[in-house]
Amino acid sequence: RKEVEQDPGPFNVPEGATVAFNCTYSNSASQSFFWYRQDCRKEPKLLMSVYSSGNEDGRFTAQLNRASQYISLLIRDSKLSDSATYLCVSASGNTPLVFGKGTRLSVIA
Amino acid sequence: EAGVAQSPRYKIIEKRQSVAFWCNPISGHATLYWYQQILGQGPKLLIQFQNNGVVDDSQLPKDRFSAERLKGVDSTLKIQPAKLEDSAVYLCASSLFSSTTYSGNTIYFGEGSWLTVV
């Protein structure tokens, strides 16, 4: 079983829609979680960190459910510029970050 | 502030040839990482340095891959001999220190070196 699993998508949504991605992790010792955004042929960039039950940053909300071992990312009022691959990442202590394969989002005009 | 610099951006080589990638991390960042990202997958850590010492190289195929960070600043990743399955983007990243759970320790990636082995 992969340590971090994501639905690869693609998720095709119209502008203004709300879209949610889920990610499950298998290592119960994982302490911290992140969402990275990766544009086509570009490097990953940190979108949000998730350290407790969740946090919100503008149109983006990340939530963590430790009991069920999943993290979610909610994007409200989707913009064309939100089109990208969203990578779910888990971390435990000083062990390396574990990346999921990513979920591809296309926002359509 | 300058980001993580990598070169070359693109490289095409034949199998069994060798290739080297160079990385210069963000100034002051003690921790440097090399990741391999195969098309359609997430990045996978190959090696992590803390200053000039290796912290984790458990996923580095040591029979063909090597990396060094001799002076604790820039780093080189070498593949010799290359195989077809080494075709990937090699991402260098850096952070202030090694803790992956501290909220202030963001990992910054370079644009990557795209390798095609034919």
Least confident of A46-50, B11-15, B101-105: B101-105
* Chain A touched by B40 (CB under 8 Å): yes
Quick one: pLDDT at residue B101? Answer: 63
* Section A50-56 average pLDDT: 81
A10: preceding bond cis by omega (within 30 degrees): yes
Among B9, B101, B114, the strongest candidate for a mutation testing the A interface, having the largest count of A CBs within 10 A, is: B101
Write phi, then psi, for B14 (nearest 5 degrees).
-90, 155
Quick one: pLDDT at residue A30? Answer: 85
**pLDDT over threshold 70, residue B7:** yes
Sheet containing B5-7: order of strands: B5-7, B19-24, B75-79, B65-68
CB contact under 8 A, B100 and A46: no
**How many CB pairs lie under 8 A apart between chains A and B?**
54
**pLDDT over threshold 60, residue A1:** no
* Chain B touched by A7 (CB under 8 Å): no
Token duo for residue A34: 């992140």
Quick one: pLDDT at residue B28? Answer: 92
* Section B16-40 average pLDDT: 96
Please state, in angstroms and rounded to a whole number, the distance separating the CA atoms of residues B78 and A26.
32
pLDDT above 70 coverage of chain B, percent = 95
* Section B52-59 average pLDDT: 92
Least confident of A53-57, A59-63, B27-31, B53-57: A53-57
Please state, in angstroms and rounded to a whole number, the distance separating the CA atoms of residues A52 and A65.
9
A104 in Cβ contact with A8 (< 8 Å): yes
Among A94, A95, A98, A101, the strongest candidate for a mutation testing the B interface, having the largest count of B CBs within 10 A, is: A94
For residue B106, the chain A residue with the least C-alpha distance is A46
* Chain B touched by A51 (CB under 8 Å): yes
Quick one: pLDDT at residue A2? Answer: 67
B114 in Cβ contact with B11 (< 8 Å): yes
On average, the pLDDT of chain A sits at: 92
For residue B103, with 0-12 CB atoms within 10 Å meaning exposed, 13-18 middle and 19 or more buried, which class applies?
exposed
Among A39, A40, A55, A97, the strongest candidate for a mutation testing the B interface, having the largest count of B CBs within 10 A, is: A97
* Section A27-39 average pLDDT: 90
For residue B53, with 0-12 CB atoms within 10 Å meaning exposed, 13-18 middle and 19 or more buried, which class applies?
exposed
Quick one: pLDDT at residue B2? Answer: 80
A70-93 in b/e form (b: 16+ CB < 10 A) is bbbbebeebeeebbbbbbbbbbbe
**pLDDT over threshold 90, residue A10:** yes
CB contact under 8 A, B40 and A49: no
